């Protein structure tokens, strides 16, 4: 488990920031699913909560929250 929570390569994480920056919800969801498929739900939760979300600017964070809420909250466990 500890191995799955290690820092992921920038080549994996950077496209997630790009999708958020481009306000591309569909791309973000695809990248999220790909990440979960490759590393698992726990790794996604860690990476998102402690590395991605804290690095977002206020507008990007708000946009992401609006996207989640507008479609209803779906657990990543249902996507995986």
DSSP notation for 14-74: HHHHHHHHTT-HHHHHHHHHHHHHHH-HHHHHHHIIIIIGGGS-HHHHHHHHHHHHHT---
pTM: 0.80
For the stretch 2-60, pLDDT in tens is: 555 677 889 999 999 999 999 999 999 999 999 999 999 999 999 999 999 999 999 99
Q: Domain extents for the chain?
A: 10-71
Question: What is the pLDDT, as a whole number, of residue 70?
Answer: 84
Residue with the larger pLDDT of the pair 74 and 21: 21
């Amino acid at each position: 488990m500890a191995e799955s929570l290690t820092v992921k390569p920038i080549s994996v994480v950077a496209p997630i920031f790009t999708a958020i920056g481009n306000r591309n919800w569909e791309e973000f969801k695809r990248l999220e699913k790909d990440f979960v498929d490759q590393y698992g739900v726990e790794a996604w939760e860690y990476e998102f909560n402690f590395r991605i979300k804290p690095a977002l600017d206020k507008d990007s964070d708000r946009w992401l929250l609006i996207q989640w809420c507008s479609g209803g909250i779906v657990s990543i466990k249902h996507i995986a």
